[in-house]
Amino acid sequence: MRRAILGAAMLLGAWLAAAPEADAQAVISVDITKARLSWTWTQGTGGAVTEFRVKCGPSAGTYTSTIVLADPAARSVPVQQVVSGPGNYFCVVIAANQFGESGPSNEVPFAAGNAPAAPSGLQITAQ
Q: All domains of the chain, ordered by start, with CATH?
A: 25-113 (2.60.40.10)
- Cα gap 70→64, rounded to integer Å: 19
Q: Which pLDDT tens digit goes with each residue over 19-74?
A: 334 456 678 999 999 999 999 999 888 889 999 999 999 999 999 999 999 999 99
With residues binned 3-state (H G I as helix, E B as strand, rest as coil), the percentages for the chain, rounded to 5, are 15, 35, 50
Terminus-to-terminus CA distance in the chain, angstroms?
A: 92
pTM for the full model?
Answer: 0.73
Is the distance from CB of 95 to CB of 41 less than 8 angstroms?
Answer: yes
Nearest to 108 by CA among 35, 53, 28: 28
What pLDDT score does 46 carry? Answer: 85
